Amino acid sequence: MDLLDPSIEHYVLHEKAWKFGGGDIFNPQGEKIGIMKRKLISMRAEIQLMNPDESLLCIINKKLLGVRPIYDVKTPDGELIGRGKKPVVAIRGSVDMYDPEDNMIYKAQGGITKWNFTITHPKDKKKVYAEIKKGDKWRDVFAPMFNFKDRYVIHVVDPNAPRLMLLAYAIIIDNVYHDK
């Protein structure tokens, strides 16, 4: 099954211990449908998003200089297709997604704990594209010293939303708030 198959409504992103952002992506039936591969020695925190056959779909990497965390999403050829930015001031968890022309296309709003996020249209919060939930949040409270991997569930609410951008967005949110 292809990672971007439009019939997929739920994705489970499961980091592997000591992979620091790398891991596998599963469907609700537990079938591996994708891979997140992180370069361990990379100042730009590069993560490759791939199909199960390891065909590259996109590259996510952090910009080196900036007041706030900024992540680029690029095609395998290096073309910019999106950019995730943490707002300079955000009381609750928030990350904004922009298109290549720097127009805001999505807004991810989380709670104080930064575990769950709702991805909406930037001007209409009632237009929900997806929901991201941290699947192992209580482990962070009761066993933070053993916090070696994370698990996220993405529920695609809008079937027309581009899955590649939603998956990249979830990885960016994890990097901004949990993989420091």
* Domain CATH code at residue 147: 2.40.160.200
- Looking at the chain, the whole-number percentage of residues with pLDDT higher than 70 is 83
Residue 4 lies in a domain: no
Per the structure, how many domains does the chain have?
1
Residue 168 domain flag: yes
Q: For the chain, give the mean pLDDT.
A: 85
**Domain boundaries, position 59:** 10-177
Q: 25 in a domain, yes or no?
A: yes
On whether residue 2 sits in a domain, the answer given is: no
Is residue 162 a contact partner of residue 97, using CB atoms and an 8 Å limit? no
What was the pLDDT predicted at 69? 87
User: Is residue 145 one of the residues assigned to a domain?
Assistant: yes
Residue 3 lies inside a defined structural domain of this protein: no
The residue with greater pLDDT, 131 or 180, is 131
- Tell whether 1 is covered by a domain: no
Q: Give 85-128 pLDDT, tens digit per residue.
A: 998 776 778 999 999 999 999 999 987 777 799 999 999 999 99
